[in-house]
Structure 1
Amino acid sequence: MADEAFELLELLQKEAPASALQDVLHQARANGTSKAEMARLTRAVDLSLGIHALFARRQQREAGLAALVDTARDLTLPYDLDALLKVITRRARLLLGLAMSWVSFDDVEARCSRVRAADGHASALTIGFSVPLDGGVGRRAAEGSAPFWSADYLADDRFTHSEVIDEVVRAEGLHAVMAVPLQHEGTGLGVLYVADRRVRHFSPDEVSLMSSLADLAAVAIEKARLLEQTRHEVVALARNTSRARDSSTAARRLGETHCRLLDLVLRGGGLGALITEAARALDGALLVRDPSGRILAGPVGTLAEPSEEDLRVALLEAHAESRPVACGAATPHTWVAAVRVGDDLLGPLLFTADGPADDHQLQLLGLTAQLTAVTLMIQDGVAATQGQLRDEFFHSLLRGTPPPPEQVAEQARRLDLDLEAPHVMVVARVEKGLRGRTAAWASSYAHRHRGLKHVDGDRMVLLLPGTDAGPAAQAVSKELGEALRCPVTVGSAGPARGPGQIAAVHEEARRCLDAVTRLMGPGGTASPQDLGFLGLLLSERPDVATFISDTIGPVLDYDDQQFTELVPTLEAYFASANSPSRAAEVLHVHPNTVSRRLERITELLGEGWQKPSRALQVQLALQLQRTRATLNQRHGGQPRQVIG
């Protein structure tokens, strides 16, 4: 027994395989050793095998720790994230000598987990492959924040299975699968998987080794993410620095060009020289017009002129926004800047670039528009300030407290206004927030029509030459509505003949606007004449004769010219509740006679005269005509005055 014991110790000292220890026991049995000796020898062999297994586990642990140290050293290298994940999966697979490994990151918005890297022979688990989050060892490991493994995945019922994951495991022929969560400071980053194509029970040392690898991998992943974020920030900072340098250079050049152009203006170079030099600096074509479209300077270069409609819309926006505006899709490289002094528009400055205009060109275009306004003021100081004087003059007329008539006449003469000629008043209400665009449009419209304008809050007032307030209101509503792209409510009145009537006509137009707003809503347009008898109530100076003429004038004229009795027939018809037969009894004529007279009235007044609203106006006109006839008879006049 002593010899065998020494032999066992020698074998252990030589790190002989476990089979050599078993051979000592077989040799003793072959030599006929007694049962008692064999029992003690068997006990000694079992202890030796235990010591041998302990040595083997220690060696395996030492090899694993050495591999883990190499892995940690490898993970300290500056990888990008994708390259780092490839290193992690390769190290994980080789660490335990398994068939394959992979790393997946959760996509919370898509409710799935996507494979970011894989190592080993795999056909289904490719990069980008997504699996649901509702099952598998990965979900169990993530929920428990600890490694979880299965010796035989498909046969294991300790966790919730997912059909998609089971299909992949079945396709790859996998059995043993371990999932280790990747966490950094309590935040889940993903899951590291290792798997083998045979049934295998993972030892605690192997689980601990994979857990340590996952901790190292999580730190490395976070470092790679921070490094990548820092790299992007550095690139963005470099890009911003380059842009700032370019912007600084452009600003310096812009300042130099502006100083050169300003010096040219102050030395009296004139508008033509300014536009020529500015076109050279802008590397494009320039043209200056006045508000009526007359060319003031240019064109310098080949200008792609927009349509009048596109130019009007773009100029309105440029005036309101105080910046150059593109002139529409038809001329994509043509821009317009408003030459302005305050709210007064002196004209458009058109610019056509060789290609898409950059910020430097647009800034210089805006500065050129300002210098153009300065040049126009220098050339004609009175004309440049005339707009402001016209506004102040018109405001004083609207308040009803103008200077003495002699001063009013002199000021009107200086401003090139003929207020003794008939003018109509147009008052428009626009949406809040559009005052700037409205003022810009009003300035241009008043200049084009040789009128006056005033903007007060959400109301715009125009005094325009003319005698018919209705068409003037419709024209303003149409053009201003198209320019602002919103409904515009307009009321009008007039004409006013002389400065003394302007305030009264303005109040009449405002009352008409209020009536249109209540009766028709936003977008309505009317004058007192359009409102019929309601216009008489709103009018500052009710024009009864015009109302009668507009309503029943053709019937009155026909009676006077043909010596018929259409007016009495109308009166009897309305008095008889619109009954031709009763009207015939009152007139003592045959019903057919009344019917023929009504047909003639329809020819004269139109088809809609019997509708309730129109019939009411006809009856009111008949009553007014009868009253006027009675008053004329009392004063010795004609029984009935011919109207029309």
Structure 2
Amino acid sequence: MTHLDVDGDALRRRYGRLREVHEATGSLITLRNVDALLKEITQRARLLLRCDSVYLDLPTSDDPTVFAVRTWSGDLTPASLGTTVSRGNGVGGIVLETGEPFQVENYLSNEDIQHETAHDDMLAGNDIATLLAVPLVFGGRITGLLFAARRLPRSFDEDDILILTALATHAAIAVRNAQIDEEKEAALGRLSDAVTESERQRDVLTRSALVHGTLSDLVIQGATVREVLEAINSTLDIPVAFLDRSVPHRPRHLSVGGLVVTPDVAGRIIDSAEPSPRMRSVTTGDERWLVVDAVTGEGMLGTLVTPENPRVDTDLGRVLERAVQSLSLCQLSTRALAAADRRSATELVTKLLQSPPRMTEQLRRRASRHGIDDRGAVPLVSDINAPSALQVAAEWTDRSGGLFASIDDRLVILVTPDTPTPDIHKLTDRLIRQADGTGPGNIIVGGHSHGIEHTADEYVAACRALKFADSLGVRGAVHSADEWSVFSTLFHEPDSASLDRFIQENIGPILSYDDRHQSSLSETAKALLEDNLSPKAAAVRLGVHANTVNQRAARLDRLLGETWRRHPRAFIVLAALNLHALRTDL
């Protein structure tokens, strides 16, 4: 099994498990009894992580900063019920301090953790070695702690932590939803304004669940960041933009709903970034923005931006904070899938260069991971295909976007449409220096395509120009495909009778002689004209003795007349020889 297969299988397993979390949400939000809901959460978590036990802590009624075991699923003893944890004590205490997931192996023997006797006794009584805890967060505060436990000292992997965190996100909404329902039932008939507030909260939570469910589906399907933004825009009816910083060297600004974020404004917002996924306000000149930073363990991935307006209240801000979690997952998945694409780039590049291309939605998404959108790409084609050149292409596309592949002994690079021309020049300069022992090679830079469906045509034109350059003896040069367009017209127009006449009128006799005698007089004539009529230099070029060249030159004089050696006729004869060579090669 290849490395790519392993990555693909891992991604499919991750998406399958995320789908299970999403499916679990449907059953969670239908439960209105808090105790039944909490039990369902722990059972779902235990099934998803396949661990020995899962338990859930909620704040105690006496002190909201102290959390106690409310329910569990698995092998915990009844004596575990009510065991408390507070800030600074144990795994749960660390989570209460940091707000981030935390786990430890060999809990009881770990000296880096502040231990509390009652909690240690509970873990020892249940023979627990490994403990993972994630927070349930609602309204910017921790409302619960979800623990996963194993008897063996074996850590939970990153996927397990991701799955448990995702479930906790859903669970926090569902728990609060159920609590609101219970509180509403207790308050009905006493305070009408309490009923109104409850319904408002319910509406916010429903909309939040709808947004989160929609975005979860998109992430599972491998959607692009733009598709996630469009879903936020259509569901919440607000314009949004995402300042994408998942690849530091090529940030992109994606906007939907008509929102325009200028580079200057984007720079100020980025400079104000905070390491916290909380909605905040940023002022740039006369404009005020509400922004939420997408922060993960891998660093800052980007910033979600919307103009400040009265509709975006605190509750809607929480929805946006949860939406950023989906954007983060989308970015991480996109990064992983893009890495997988680069390892099988030949297949992807070949599909993009089909004429006409079959642009399925899946192919568009794959291309967009590398910065290639409906505007197409600039094809760069070279006969410099040494391993060092491939390494240059790999480093450049990883940093600047685009794709590369080795096709038909050519290096093909698809450059993103936003790439500045000076950057393309830097790339071609590096590639020219990578020619191997076969001698210097050529690079052809194709034209900017006007749509991805025309990229294949630009690639064909670049390949044709590369062949022209080789046939004309050009080496170690960078050209644009447009520079060779005259030859393309000359050799690919339906009517080429005039070209036939030109060749026959000027070198027809020696071509006929070569055909009859299987000789190479045309090659000798070309070598003499290109080497200033020096028999010695032509002999070296042809790999024969100088006397042989002299004998062939005499025969050329008889066939063409001695004037073939002198200008202007020498220029015309050489042009005819080159054109004939080009036609033969093509």
TM-score under structure 1 normalisation?
A: 0.28
Larger of the two Rg values belongs to structure: 1
